[in-house]
Amino acid sequence: MDCLLKKCRIRNSLLRECLAECLGVYIMILFGCGSVAQVTTTENSKGHYLSINLGFALGTTFGVFVSRGVSGAHLNPAVSLSLCFLGRHPWIRLPFYVVAQILGAFLAAATVGLQYYDAIQHYSGGHLTVSGPTATAGIFSTYPADYLSLWGGIVDQVVGTAALMVCILALGDSRNSPAPAGMEPVLVGAVVLVIGVSMGSNSGYALNPARDIGPRLFTYIAGWGEEVFRAGHNWWWVPLMGPCVGALVGTLIYELLIEVHHPDMGLNLEFSDQGQDNTSQPEVELGTVHSEKKSTPMTDLTGS
């Protein structure tokens, strides 16, 4: 058995990282969209909005646990973009990561569609609709509330993703108050939880282009039709563009208000090593750089 598995080993580091991103997003969306399916098809009798928040939060946590040691657990094209922008991730890998993330989200949506097939049929009476009393497209991707204007939707996505990015950068900033070693996935999940609790009602807190477009493509193919792109005055492009802008805004806010002002560590490294709170792990930066630093050189030596 062990030998059999070893034969399947892939040595190319980029491919390994893409597999990890794909599985990470898959786990995140499987739990996230699954929780929406449960609440929708049981009409709130087996869960409330808070369980949807928990589904996406813990989905993110375990998505990060599954992939962080291999790919750094971006799980979000907007996060990948910001890290490229900061010089912490090579631009050349960005398109591969994005494709893997969208693929993972698509497959997860298909799995949720399969697992809840009977429930969706029973709840919707067999009519797969995007709006109306038994709409089920909202199980998979996000749609705006009726009252939301286009600008309101853009502001909503930009603010939400900027807040996400500020918190993620703070959790990984070893010179501020970093997350305890190994607890990063839990705390990233907690960020997603609090955003869902405080910024979820306008348009369903996509915050992530892959999380939204992957399942939307699934619903397009699986029977909900073109309406998934037309609904909400062609809403579909907002969760693609908004998060990318928001992540860059959040990155700038954290960098300009906190990170660039940290005292220079070059001159007094010994002193700061002692004074630092996180003596056990002084260099982890969200695990992202970390995976680049560690796994890439290793695999470059041995990889194809």
Q: Closer to a copy of itself by CB, 192 or 231: give it.
A: 192
Q: Is 16 in the site for a copy of itself (CB under 8 A)?
A: yes
Q: Is 42 in the site for a copy of itself (CB under 8 A)?
A: yes
Instruction: Give the nearest distance from C-beta 49 to a copy of itself in angstroms.
Output: 4
Residue 25 in contact with residue 105, Cβ under 8 Å? yes
Rg (CA), the chain: 20
Instruction: Give the nearest distance from C-beta 287 to a copy of itself in angstroms.
Output: 7
Residue 300 φ then ψ, to 5°: -65, -30
Instruction: Give the nearest distance from C-beta 175 to a copy of itself in angstroms.
Output: 6
The CA-CA-CA angle for residues 209, 68, 76, to 5°, reads 5
Q: Is 58 in the site for a copy of itself (CB under 8 A)?
A: yes
Q: Closer to a copy of itself by CB, 78 or 226: give it.
A: 78
Contacts of 271 (CB under 8 A, 6+ apart): none
Q: Is 77 in the site for a copy of itself (CB under 8 A)?
A: no
Structure tokens at 1: 């058995």
From the list 94, 99, 115, 129, which residue makes contact with a copy of itself (rule: CB under 8 A)? 115
Contacts of 93 (CB under 8 A, 6+ apart): 14, 17
The CA-CA-CA angle for residues 33, 77, 283, to 5°, reads 110
Report the site for a copy of itself in 193-252 (rule: CB under 8 A).
Answer: 193-195, 197-202
From the list 94, 96, 99, 121, which residue makes contact with a copy of itself (rule: CB under 8 A)? 121
Q: Closer to a copy of itself by CB, 146 or 226: give it.
A: 146
